[in-house]
A and B are shown apart, each in its own frame.
Chain A
Amino acid sequence: MSTAVVADARITARPDGRGGTALPVLAGGGPIALRRTRGGATARVTVIGAMAGPLGGDRLALRIDVRPGAALHVGSAAATISLPGRDGRPARWDLDFTVAEDAELHWLPEPVVAATGSRLLTRTRITLAAGARLHYREEQVLGRHHDLARGAPPGRLTSRLTVRQAGRPILDQQTDLGPGAPAWDGPASLGGHRAAGHLLTVGHPAPPVPPPGHDAALLTLPGTDATLLTALAPDALRLRRLLTP
């Protein structure tokens, strides 16, 4: 059995002075490998999981700093599968993003999937300057397909997202889903769905209002030019369709 992993990955993006974005810091850590996949006005980085996990007990962090005038797009190569550890401790995944004025960050990773018996706490703090632009997608899937197919319960995902814009909090919400969270599958929370997600858009045009007949809504946040598309779906594929404008 492996012991718990502690890793702190960092990305810093700044203008390269020739109309593009440079990445003076691109430092993976532990199971988080970072690859620059393309240059240009927007720098593109792919997060590659170099090991299984996160496993219970792991503490993973990623800090992204987008400096004035820079543009960064971060995706991931595959879904993040949260797996149980040896001693039942939760894994932690901390994301800390700072986006300066006239800078933009697109954080569009693949979903986090909570495998049977896993416990993951994610904490995302996003600090936006006035005039910063953001696309932030978060998708949570309760259980792997083969967990659900054999009737096993999903794992538990507790996820908090805090966003400040020009010093003011514009979004602070935590969801606690999976066995152990009170009434997580009831008519106030998931209502039988197995995938939940958001698309947070700041400073870009808002996505269209979701079509009727789906458990989704486009919410105008109290900040400036900020919307949250929030959606529930039976599975990851249908969730992605609702979150893709």
Chain B
Amino acid sequence: MPDRTPAPGGATAVLLLLADGRFPAGGHAHSGGAEAAVRAGRIRDQDDLAAFLTGRLHTTGLTAAALAAAATAAATDPDPDRLDDLDRAADARTPSPALRATSRRLGRQLLRAARAAWPHPALDRLADRHPRGAHHPVVLGTTAHAAGLTPAQAASLAAYESVNGPATACVRLLGLDPYRVAAVLARLAPELDAVTAEAVRAAEQGDLPAASAPLLDILAEQHSTWKVRLFAS
């Protein structure tokens, strides 16, 4: 069988590919709590959206980014215990069963796409040990390693995904002006980089953050009981 692993040196393009909403990892079907926040009247305009995204970025975004960075480093270790520990750490940091299920579903979908794009023993081990899906940040970090990215790049992807999905969802849910939503995201860029740096530092020190936001958990549980919804979470 020919070795289809891409040569190193394509890291920038790989990063763009992974961050692209068209990469088939299933993220487009999720609103990151925005759908429930819109229904509850908590996001009505772009200012509410900016506050929602800022809150999400500094809480679950930071936690996911640190887990992803730690997983990139742990994936270099042939002993799978470190990744399993990170999966348990992600479980403990996700008290909402609805969000745990979402994170594992997104992890499973990303793993499928990643194994096709960047075949690697670390991805195979993760699939073997977590047949129902590992947590998304753990898969993201392992994917980053398989694709030749650094822990910082994995953290940056996780931080970006923590805001990009809900922002795009609000264009559909509220009919917000997509140019104004793009401006909200552009203004968040320095904070995204700051959160990424904080996440990498925490992961290097082995002191994973557990930042959380109370309404995100509550809204996720409410959303999971709806019979009709536009987004899966």
Q: CB < 8 Å: which of A172, A186, A215 contacts B92?
A: A172
Is B218 a contact of A172 with CB atoms below 8 Å? no
Binds A, one of B50-58, B141-149, B177-185: B50-58
The reply to whether B221 and A169 contact each other, CB–CB distance below 8 Å, is: no
Q: Nearest chain A CB to B33's CB is how many angstroms away? A: 7
Which residues of chain A are within 8 angstroms of B96 by Cβ–Cβ distance? 217, 219
Residues 169-184 of chain A: 1 if any B CB is under 8 Å from the residue's CB, otherwise 0?
A: 1111111100001111
User: Are A173 and B212 in contact, CB atoms less than 8 angstroms apart?
Assistant: yes
Of B52, B91, B217, B218, the residue contacting A186 (CB under 8 A) is B52
Contact: B88 with A168, CB < 8 Å?
yes
Contact: B212 with A175, CB < 8 Å? yes
CB closest chain-A residue, reference B42? A187
- List residues of B (43-86) whose CB comes within 8 Å of A's CBs: 43, 48, 51-52, 54-59
> Is the CB of B6 closer than 8 A to any CB of chain A?
no
- By a CB distance below 8 angstroms, the chain B residues around A222 are 91-92, 100
A212-231 interface bits toward B, Cβ cutoff 8 Å, 1 = contact, 0 = none: 00011111111000001010
- A80 on interface, CB distance cutoff 8 Å: no
* Chain B residue with Cβ nearest A158: B211
Q: Does A76 contact B (CB under 8 A)?
A: no
Q: Is B97 an interface position by the 8 A CB rule?
A: yes
Q: B51 near A187 (CB under 8 angstroms)?
A: yes
Cα distance, A215 to B220, chains bound together (Å): 11
Assess whether A187 is in contact with B221, with CB atoms less than 8 Å apart: no
> What are the interface flags for A152-194 relative to B under an 8 Å C-beta threshold, 1 for contact and 0 otherwise?
0000000010110000111111111000011110111111000
Within the complex, the shortest CB–CB distance from B101 to chain A, in Å, comes to: 11
Tell me the complex Cα distance, A219–B216, Å: 12
Scoring B residues 91 to 111 as 1 if CB is less than 8 Å from chain A, else 0, what string do you get? 111011100100000000000
- Chain A: residues with Cβ within 8 Å of the partner, total of 34
Q: Do the beta carbons of A188 and B216 come within 8 Å of each other?
A: yes
Please, which residues of chain B bring their CB within 8 A of the CB of A218?
A: 221
Asked if residues A173 and B55 are in contact (CB atoms below 8 Å), the reply is no
Give the chain B neighbours of A163 by CB distance below 8 A. 92
By a CB distance below 8 angstroms, the chain B residues around A189 are 55, 59, 213-216
Answer whether residue A199 sits at the interface, using C-beta atoms and an 8 A cutoff: no
Q: Does A23 contact B (CB under 8 A)?
A: no
| Interface membership of B210, Cβ < 8 A | yes
In whole Å, how far is B61's beta carbon from the nearest beta carbon of chain A? Answer: 10
Contact A219 to B95, CB < 8 A, known contacts A183-B51, A183-B54, A187-B37? yes
Mark interface residues in B195-210 (1 if CB within 8 Å of A CB, else 0). 0000000000000011
Q: Please measure, in the bound complex, the distance between the C-alpha atom of A36 and the C-alpha atom of B81, giving whole angstroms.
A: 45
CB of B138 to closest CB in A, whole Å: 14
Q: Which residue of B lies closest to A173 (CB)?
A: B212
If A188-B37, A188-B213, A189-B213 touch, whether A169 touches B55 (CB-CB below 8 Å) is: no
Distance A221 CA – B191 CA, assembled complex (angstroms): 31
A182-B54 CB under 8 A given contacts A188-B213, A188-B215, A217-B218: yes
Is B222 an interface residue, CB under 8 A from the partner? Answer: yes
Q: Is the CB of A182 within 8 A of B214?
A: no
Q: Mark A6-28, 1 if CB is under 8 A from B, else 0.
A: 00000000000000000000000
Distance in angstroms from A137 CB to nearest chain B CB is 15
Residues of chain B contacted by A219 (CB below 8 angstroms) = 95-97, 217, 221
Asked if A196 lies at the interface with its beta carbon under 8 angstroms from chain B, I say yes
- Nearest CB on A from B137, distance (A): 14
Determine the chain A residues whose CB is within 8 A of the CB of B173 once the complex forms: none
| Interface 0/1 of A25-57, CB less than 8 Å to B | 000000000000000000000000000000000
Q: Which 6 A-B pairs rank lowest in CB-CB distance, beginning with the nearest? A: A188-B55, A186-B51, A183-B55, A187-B42, A169-B92, A183-B54
A interface with B by C-beta (< 8 Å): 160, 162-163, 168-176, 181-184, 186-191, 196, 215-222, 228, 230, 232
Q: List 15 A-B contacts (CB under 8 A).
A: A169-B88, A170-B91, A174-B211, A181-B58, A183-B54, A187-B42, A187-B51, A187-B215, A215-B214, A217-B221, A217-B222, A219-B96, A220-B97, A222-B91, A230-B218
